Amino acid sequence: MISSTDGAVTAAPLRTGFRWFQLAMGIVCMAMIANLQYGWTLFVDPIDAAHHWGRAAIQLAFTIFVVTETWLVPIEAWFVDKYGPRIVIMFGGVMIALSWVLNSYADSLPLLYAAAVVGGMGAGAVYGTCVGNALKWFPDRRGLAAGATAAGFGAGAALTVVPIAMMIASSGYQTAFLKFGIGQGLIVFVLAFFIQPPRISIPPKKKQLNLPQTKIDFTPPQVLRAPIFWVMYLVFVMVASGGLMTAAQIAPIAHDFKIADTPVTLLGFQMAALTFAISLDRIFDGFGRPFFGFVSDNIGRENTMFIAFGTAALMLLTLSAYGHIPIVFVLATAVYFGVFGEIYSLFPATCGDTFGSKYATTNNGMLYTAKGTAALLVPLASVISATYGWKAVFVVAVALNATAALMALFVIKPMRRSFILGKEAESANAATGTAKTETA
């Protein structure tokens, strides 16, 4: 049954700053799970040096983590919508700590893979809960809130990458896994006590209704039956596959272009091209998430998608043609990741706008599995590059992003508006019919 949130009284006047406090707590929790994905690269070579399992076998743990983290989010999100965020985030804190503790003792690949599953469950619980809670507290600024929360996922790694690297060098990777794992898990567990959802549904502000936002809360089964959900899912996969491919293959691409160790000077800084590119990529990615979320709150989700996806296609085309030039490689990848990261703010915001706040955590969790689906397509890039070269890979990625940009503007935009208006008209007609029956 569809439930309406019309006439809901906003909880904001009770404590106006409280929702910003909730957002801040979510961002910190996200920062604490960031290293499970972005800090992993620091441990690969030390693990290989200790056990000689080979990079490919060790990196399989990363793939297992990503798939587990994304595909279990809908289940964890269902628990959030039913029992609240606190218990799920507490569970996530325990699991991410246990994951790295297991990594510190792992003396076999099966144990390493088991730790990846445990870490994926914990990270997914925290990620899905924090993003979903932000959508519920900020119906008027969903893009900004989701973007800021998602940005915490990258910021955490940026803040701790040096301390982790130093601990690995001084005390060994096992000690780094153990101490940082327990520390990160403990912080998440404690912060869980402060995180809560709005007591009552907060409606979007009148001035934001030009964004097309539903007044109806759709249940997950209803969302899965809506064609607009699957169109959004397809576009998410199309854009995410290119970004995950580029993130995973940026080092091989730079080496094949023979520019990885070429010095690049920019704004007074000089680094090897690959190192410079990776550093700027993380900065631009983190900044782009809240920035494009904020932009979408003002000019619309699909218009922002068109700009971002179109820019991504242009940058990938530039890399294909001029990526062998070190400065172009550095700047083009930086801009590309600056517009790629917005999928983690725009799609949650669009999902909340389209299907309502009440089940936002579960509904966004279902959409987030598109990242896992895209991750399964990433190995195809290696197959294509081995046969046709990296330019062929870039051409495919350009086509996917350009098509996604056009679909955002000419398919998702009218389709989503039609869905929202049509369902609200059905709800109104049903309510009118019920009233007439009761009167008679």
Amino acid at 363: N
CA–CA separation, 268 and 327 (whole Å): 13
Q: The pTM is what?
A: 0.78
131 close to 76: Cβ distance less than 8 angstroms:
no
- What does the pLDDT read at residue 379? 72
The least confident of 65-79, 204-218, 317-331, 392-406 is 204-218
Q: What is the mean pLDDT of residues 17-41?
A: 87
pLDDT tens column, 343-394: 988 998 899 899 988 888 889 889 989 988 888 877 777 778 778 888 888 8
- What does the pLDDT read at residue 170? 92
- What does the pLDDT read at residue 96? 95
Amino acid at 6: D
Q: What is the mean pLDDT of residues 126-139?
A: 87
* Top-ranked range on mean pLDDT: pick from 103-117, 163-177, 287-301: 103-117
> What is the signed CA dihedral for 69, 72, 75, 79, rounded to 10 degrees?
-30
Q: Does domain 220-440 have CATH number 1.20.1250.20?
A: yes
Instruction: Locate CATH 1.20.1250.20 in the chain.
Output: 16-197, 220-440
16-197 topology per CATH: Growth Hormone; Chain: A; (1.20.1250)
pLDDT tens column, 223-255: 999 999 999 999 999 999 888 777 767 777 888
CA–CA separation, 240 and 233 (whole Å): 10
Q: Which of 254, 245, 346 is nearest to 296 (CA)?
A: 346
- What does the pLDDT read at residue 13? 40
Q: Which residue has the tokens 């399992």?
A: 53
User: What's the pLDDT band for 402 if we cut at 50, 70, 90?
Assistant: very high
- What does the pLDDT read at residue 201? 60
Q: What is the mean pLDDT of residues 49-74?
A: 86
**CB atoms closer than 10 angstroms to residue 427:** 17
Amino acid at 255: H
The least confident of 157-161, 175-179, 289-293, 358-362 is 157-161
- What does the pLDDT read at residue 2? 45
pLDDT tops 90 at residue 45: no
